[in-house]
A and B are shown apart, each in its own frame.
Chain A
Amino acid sequence: EVLLVQSGAEVQKPGATVKISCKVSGYTFTDYDIHWVQQAPGKGLEWMGLVDPEDGETIYAEKFQGRVTMTADTSTDTAYMELSSLRSEDMALYYCATDYPSRIPTFVFWGQGSLVTVSS
Chain B
Amino acid sequence: DIQMTQSPSSLSASVGDRVTITCRASQSIASYLNWYQQKPGKAPNLLIYAASSLQSGVPSRFSGSGSGTDFTLTISSLQPEDFASYFCQQSFTTPYSFGQGTKLEF
Contacts and interface: CB of A to CB of B under 8 A. Distances in A.
Nearest to A104: B91
Interface string A77-120: 00000000000000000010100001011111011110000000
Contact of B43 (A49, A104, A113): A113
B104 interface: no
Contacts of B60: none
Interface in B58-106: 87, 89, 91, 94-101
A69 B46 CA distance: 26
Nearest to B57: A108
Chain B interface size, as a band, is 20 to 34
Contacts of A45: 36, 38, 44, 87, 89, 98, 101
A26 interface: no
A62 B95 contact: yes
Contacts of B34: 106-107
Q: A interface, by DSSP: helix, strand, loop or mixed?
A: loop
Contacts of A104: 32, 91
A102 B101 contact: no
Contacts of B99: 44
A92 to B, nearest CB: 14
B1 A62 contact: yes
* Most chain A CB neighbours (cut-off 10 Å) among B36, B44, B50, B99: B44
Interface of A: 35, 37, 44-47, 49-50, 59, 61-62, 95, 97, 102, 104-108, 110-113
6 contacts: A45-B38, A47-B95, A47-B96, A104-B91, A106-B50, A106-B91
Given A45-B87, A105-B96, 8 more contacts: A44-B87, A44-B101, A47-B89, A61-B95, A104-B91, A106-B34, A106-B91, A107-B46
